[in-house]
Amino acid sequence: MKPSAITCADSTLALLRDPYRFVSRRAAELDDDVFETRLLLRRTTCMTGAEAAEILYDPTRFQRAGAAPPPLQKTLFGQGGVQGLDGERHRRRKAMFLRINQPDRVEALAEVVTREWQRAVGDWEVAGQIDLYPQVQLLLTRAACEWAGVPLPEAEVEVRTRQLTALFDAAGDVGLGHLRSRAARRAAERWATDVLEQIRSDQLAVPDSAAASVIASHRESDGRPMELRIAAVELLNVLRPTVATAVYITFLAHALDVHRAWRDRLAQGDGTEDLAFIEEVRRTYPFFPVVTAIVRDDFQWRGHHFPKGRRVLLDLYGTNRDPRAWEHPDRFDPERFLGADPGPFAFVPQGGGDPAVHHRCPGEPISTRLMGVALDQLVRHMEYKPGQPAAPIDYRRLPAIPQRGFAIQQIARRRS
């Protein structure tokens, strides 16, 4: 068995300093896809690469109950949601999300987002210069609530946008940012609870296919409706990440600015290469660094011992850039997505495996479709100039949006 003491000093600070590259860099130094360390004083095994991903998504070896670090449960995830379920309870709850995100519903959301985007461009024309990241958060909050069946009076748009954003944008912070994110979770859960209560008591009529209605009427394996507190967590599991697509849209605008030849190619194209560009943005830009799971029962893999109860981290960012799966991984080349499908474990920006069976994100059709709306608007329906030369990405930040945000100016609707 390989010596596991090599990296057993606590690595929490090293991970916080470089959350996206810590695992792949340490693995490269050790020339091993698996290594053991301590995080928050707890022994933790870190893994990288497609084969490690395939192991982590094997439900006979790993469970998710107890896997999420407590600070993230109090901010990003909430308690009692689908992320911490296993087996039949997980499959049943997951089916609810797949119903919420089925193709006609994704198209319905894309239509609302397109309308909100067009409306926002009118305001941006008047403003002259805007920071794209917070502006897209606002328009996605409006669109997500309308689509999900959650009433959002105009006077509440800013506060709800701030709350939903704080759940993902400040969740990885320590100190004040963390406290802000916890307060946002409490307020947002109260809001979601109130909406679901109104739907259950017929005070609020919402179309059956809308997310809030599907969640309000969902029944657990024992035939009972979900506990209201948990239903609120699940409603936020739809609203929060839909708004978080603002991060990917900011990356998209950054990539269009940095890769001008591609921008021209997409502008002149018929849209068939849009998805390849979007996938390359999701592969190369840093959003979700890792996922975690707990070892069910002792096993050995690649000469390493995985003891029951051990927390294991899978490196998503590094797996998407692993040279064994990706030729010239640091090169931004959307053409790689015009060819063969990379498979369910090598391309894991939103997790790996099968979303119906594993914990892979059920929201990939939404995030890629909304990035498609943004690409179409930015490239084919708007004129604008970047406010400053594209800033480098801040890899210490979670999520790692460009330093100083992404300002655009001289904005006009293209009239053709």
Give the shortest CB-416-to-ligand HEM separation in angstroms: 31
Taking CB under 6 A as the rule, does residue 393 contact ligand HEM? Answer: no
Q: Binding segment for ligand HEM among 123-131, 238-246, 257-265, 337-345 (CB under 6 A)?
A: 238-246
Here's the x/- map for ligand HEM, 208-237, by CB under 6 A: it reads as -----------------------------x
CA distances from residue 45 to 122, 307, 385 in whole angstroms, order as listed: 50, 10, 45
CA separation for the pair 213, 215 (Å, rounded): 5
CA distances from residue 27 to 47, 285, 295, 322, 335 in whole angstroms, order as listed: 8, 20, 20, 11, 28
Residue 145, annotated as binding a ligand: no
Pick the binder of ligand HEM from 20, 62, 117, 248 (CB under 6 A).
248
Taking CB under 6 A as the rule, does residue 359 contact ligand HEM? Answer: yes
Give the shortest CB-327-to-ligand HEM separation in angstroms: 24
Evaluated on CA atoms 190, 63, 398, 174, the torsion sign reads positive
Pick the binder of ligand HEM from 130, 195, 206, 291 (CB under 6 A).
291
- Name which of residues 109 to 128 contact ligand HEM (CB under 6 A): none
Pick the binder of ligand HEM from 75, 135, 350, 368 (CB under 6 A).
350
Q: Binding segment for ligand HEM among 113-121, 169-177, 190-198, 360-368 (CB under 6 A)?
A: 360-368
Of 132 and 411, nearer to ligand HEM (C-beta) is 132
Give the shortest CB-118-to-ligand HEM separation in angstroms: 21
Of 172 and 363, nearer to ligand HEM (C-beta) is 363
Taking CB under 6 A as the rule, does residue 362 contact ligand HEM? Answer: yes
Burial of 27 (0-12, 13-18, 19+ CB in 10 A): buried
Q: Does the bond joining 399 to the residue before it have cis omega, within 30 degrees of 0?
A: yes
Burial of 342 (0-12, 13-18, 19+ CB in 10 A): middle
Give the shortest CB-353-to-ligand HEM separation in angstroms: 7
Taking CB under 6 A as the rule, does residue 311 contact ligand HEM? Answer: no
Taking CB under 6 A as the rule, does residue 245 contact ligand HEM? Answer: yes
Say how many residues make up the chain: 416
Nearest residue to ligand HEM, by Cβ distance, number only: 363
Give the shortest CB-20-to-ligand HEM separation in angstroms: 13
Give the shortest CB-243-to-ligand HEM separation in angstroms: 8
Taking CB under 6 A as the rule, does residue 101 contact ligand HEM? Answer: yes
Of 34 and 113, nearer to ligand HEM (C-beta) is 113
CA separation for the pair 307, 297 (Å, rounded): 7
Query: Which phi and psi (to 5°) does residue 266 adopt?
Result: -70, -35
Q: Binding segment for ligand HEM among 38-46, 195-203, 300-308, 362-370 (CB under 6 A)?
A: 362-370
Nearest to 173 by CA among 282, 54, 38, 76: 76
Pick the binder of ligand HEM from 286, 360, 375, 411 (CB under 6 A).
360
Taking CB under 6 A as the rule, does residue 286 contact ligand HEM? Answer: no
Here's the x/- map for ligand HEM, 16-55, by CB under 6 A: it reads as ----------------------------------------
Of 241 and 386, nearer to ligand HEM (C-beta) is 241
Q: How far apart are the first and last CA of the chain?
A: 67
Packing angle between helix 132-148 and helix 103-127, nearest 10 degrees?
140
Taking CB under 6 A as the rule, does residue 94 contact ligand HEM? Answer: yes
- 3-class secondary structure for 32-54? CCEEEEEECCEEEEEEECHHHHH
Taking CB under 6 A as the rule, does residue 83 contact ligand HEM? Answer: yes
Q: Which residues are annotated as a binding site?
A: 361
Binding site for ligand HEM (CB under 6 A): 82-83, 94, 97, 101, 237-238, 241-242, 244-245, 248, 287-288, 291, 350-351, 359-363, 366-367
Q: Which residues are annotated as a binding site for heme?
A: 361
